[in-house]
Amino acid sequence: MEAAVSKTKHRTAFVILAVCNAGSLAAATNMVISLHPEDKITIKRGLVLTVLGFIYFMTLFELLNALILSTGAGARMRHRYRLSCGDVLDITNK
């Protein structure tokens, strides 16, 4: 029963990370698309875009790490390319 709870927690974490990632990208895209060429980016809009960028890249990093380090497909990929945990973190960081 412990393994089932663990899989449920991992799936929930994947879904939350994916939703945050897609949501931040959609929100940033929406903010940029609404700009006209002659518009200037205000400090408020710039700060919001910066925060959305942080959210996007941090959730992307965590999502990729979680997928590669804790799924069967990720384990097969690590074994196939002989990647250590440090190698995975280095790749996803870049």
Which three-class secondary structure state does DSSP give residue 41? Answer: coil
Residues in contact with 89: Cβ distance below 8 Å, sequence separation at least 6, in sequence order: 65
> Are 31 and 49 in contact, with CB atoms under 8 Å apart?
yes
Mean pLDDT (whole number) for 1-11: 67
Q: How far apart are CA 82 and CA 38, in angstroms?
A: 51
Mean pLDDT (whole number) for 17-23: 97
Residues in contact with 69: Cβ distance below 8 Å, sequence separation at least 6, in sequence order: 78, 85, 88
Residues in contact with 74: Cβ distance below 8 Å, sequence separation at least 6, in sequence order: 67, 68
pLDDT tens digits for range 42-89: 999 999 999 999 999 999 999 999 999 988 999 999 999 999 999 999
1: confidence class by pLDDT, cuts 50, 70, 90: very low
pLDDT attached to residue 3:
54
